[in-house]
Amino acid sequence: MSYARIAVFVSGGGTNLQALLDAQKSGILNKGKVELVISDREGCYALERAEKSGIKSFCFIKKQIGQSLFEQKLNEMLKVNNIDFIILAGFLSILSAEFTKAWDMKIINVHPSLIPSFCGDGYYGLKVHSAALERGVKISGATVHYVNGDVDGGPIIFQKVVPVYKKDTPETLQIRIMKKAEWVLLPKAAQQLSQKIVKQKEKSNEK
């Protein structure tokens, strides 16, 4: 049975990667399979999660090799592993317009707010939630979207609302959004794109 081959780019704890791996086990993600994990941060726990699940993983440090060699390495790994699409899961490196154009509508990102609020340059990790709490929002949530040349700017795929409580800190809000929104939406979006790619593969095999 054909399936979509997925690469996940990570930088941190890898809880979104774990949500994808758990979704494969539970059958929520049954048309796609994480075949490759690439990190831009040495020793991040996401790499340990990949290793524990027996998934091929690599680490390329953009600061050390520069943007163009970094993306050349990414593309080499994606090609060698026949990857169909990419998921950015807590990935902090910005990809060039050239790279995202080459993977147009084949890169998915999860952002911990309801885009277009609290997104774009400088809005990542806890900073997103601090800004939301400072603004006094009553709801927040997560967005899964396609990646294009603009930071957090591509077409929105799914969004999920999460309540904000008076006593919330950036940390309590972050974990609620991860649990109730990010870890739900990302596998759903991965399955949806996987189904589309499997259909395309089956059609091209029929020809």
Judged by the rule CB under 6 A, the positions of this chain that interact with ligand GRF are 10, 12-17, 46, 89-90, 110, 112, 125, 174, 178, 182
Cα–Cα distance measured from residue 161 to residue 204, given in angstroms and rounded to the nearest whole number:
38
CB of 114 to ligand GRF, least distance (A): 13
Q: What is the 3-state secondary structure (H, E, C) of 46-73?
A: HHHHHHHCCCEEEECCHHHHHHHHHHHH
Active site residue 111: yes
Least distance to ligand GRF, CB of residue 86, Å: 14
Q: Quick one: 12 or 187, whose CB is closer to ligand GRF?
A: 12
Question: Measured from the CB of residue 2, what is the shortest distance to ligand GRF in angstroms?
Answer: 27
Check residue 98 and report its DSSP letter. H
Burial of 49 (0-12, 13-18, 19+ CB in 10 A): buried
Residue 39 phi/psi, 5-degree rounding, is -115, 150
CB-wise, 16 or 57, nearer to ligand GRF? 16
Residue with Cβ nearer ligand GRF (140 or 174): 174
In the set 111, 129, 145, 176, the catalytic residue is 111
β-strands 85-88, 156-163: how paired? unpaired
Instruction: Output the six-digit token pair for 154.
Output: 């591509």
Q: For ligand GRF, which residue has the nearest CB?
A: 90
Q: How far is the CB of 175 from ligand GRF (least distance, A)?
A: 9
Residue number, 17 or 193, with CB nearest to ligand GRF: 17
> Quick one: tokens of 205?
């095999």
Q: Which residues are identified as catalytic?
A: 111
